[in-house]
Amino acid sequence: MATAVLKLHCEDTKGIVYHVAKFIFEHGGNILESQQHQEPLNNRFFMRVHFDLADLNCTRQQLRSDWEPVSQKFNMETDLTFSDDRKRIAIMVSKYDHCLYDLFLRHQYGELNADIALVVSNHPDLESVSFNFKVPYFYIPVTKANKQEAEQKAVELFRQHQVDLIALARYMQILTPTLLEAYPNRIINVHHGFLPAFVGAKPYHQAYEKGVKMIGATSHYATEELDMGPIIEQETIRVTHAHDPKDMVRLGRDIEKKVFAHAVKQHLEDRIIVYKNRTIIFD
């Protein structure tokens, strides 16, 4: 069944829900789910509508065109997507393989409504993994001297493969504006900590030395400000003095996989609206 998702946000005022529902009804759509959120601080209204296209009485192009006057009436920022226009994912990875395997398996099980177009890595180590899942693998070495050139090669590959979303499956490089500006709010990273967290190398060892009682992971959109982009998903797990660094690494891997995959899935299902460096996420 083909469906569509309409996301929007604008200044809160009377009549928005009425005009959205009226528009969908008049074009033959059937609303399956509708969620709204209003923020008094900024007087901002957010909405996500999921509707059936089975009885649509116009073309999709006409639907987009007819929506424009409604959008302009309320000065909305909107996004209209269709479920059968499958998004294309590029995975970037270094040497840690747990998030890569997890995305591959979830895709294989049909949990992600998208196609994994390619894998790009700054190391050759995981090429066999990508080969086993029949996904093209591109090795682009990265050094301090060639980082911008390497990212430009990656951007060119992503454009050739018509990539919509980049998933940083423990890609251990700080991104430059070359990549970030090409895909704003379309690069999802996973951080091995509940941000803000321990900075630098061996975070779990630092956590162990500090005697922490809780560890976690955070998925977020990548921005130029390192590990400070809009947060999508976070999770924690309790630990005790009996957990050594190896235990924490093992537990951390499980949390990283979970929050990363959940963030990717929410993006693919068009459940996220980014506003002022934070996210509104509809269930």
CB-CB contact of 88 with 163 (8 Å): yes
- C-alpha to C-alpha distance for 279 and 231, rounded to whole angstroms: 7
Instruction: Judge contact between 54 and 1, C-beta under 8 A.
Output: yes
Question: Which two structure tokens, joined as six digits, stand for 86?
Answer: 């499958």
Hey, what are 189's tokens? 């990273």
Sign of CA dihedral 189, 194, 198, 203: negative
Catalytic sites, residue numbers: 227
Q: How far is CA 270 from CA 6, 82, 280, in A?
A: 9, 10, 11
CA separation for the pair 126, 203 (Å, rounded): 23
Edge-to-edge strand list for the sheet holding 30-39: 30-39, 44-52, 3-11, 77-82
> Are residues 252 and 204 in contact, defined by beta-carbon separation less than 8 angstroms?
yes
DSSP string, 111-173: -SSEEEEEEEESSSTTHHHHHHTT--EEE----TTTHHHHHHHHHHHHHHTT--EEEESS--S
